[in-house]
Amino acid sequence: MCLAIPGKIVELRGNVAVVDYGGVRREARVDFIPDAKVGDYVIVHTGFAIEKMDEESALKSLEAWAEVLEGEQ
């Protein structure tokens, strides 16, 4: 099973995006999402953006993750 956290594309250089996961930034390939642009929320698996999410869904998911992580403290 794979659990994915949405990240926001903050920079795009060709087929490589810089994705922000709430302060942690990582590079991801966007070959599977040819219309990806800065500001899009994406799900990344093994270094590739595999799905684009609308902002509302991404923010709800991030809120749920925050609640889960809060419970672990």
Q: What is the pTM of this model?
A: 0.86
16-67 pLDDT tens trace: 999 999 899 999 999 999 999 999 999 999 999 999 999 999 999 989 988 8
CATH classification code of 7-71: 2.30.30.140
Which residue pairs, CB below 8 angstroms and at least 24 apart, start in 51-54?
A: 53/6
Distance of CA 67 to the CA centre of its chain: 18
User: What are the percentages of helix, strand and coil residues in the chain, rounded to 5?
Assistant: 25, 40, 40
Contact 30, 41 (CB under 8 A): no
pLDDT tens, position by position, 4-27: 889 999 999 999 999 999 899 999
Task: Read off the pLDDT band of 73 (50, 70, 90).
Answer: low
Give the CA distances from residue 18 to residues 35, 37, 39, 52, 71, in Å, rounded to whole numbers and listed in that order.
15, 11, 11, 14, 29
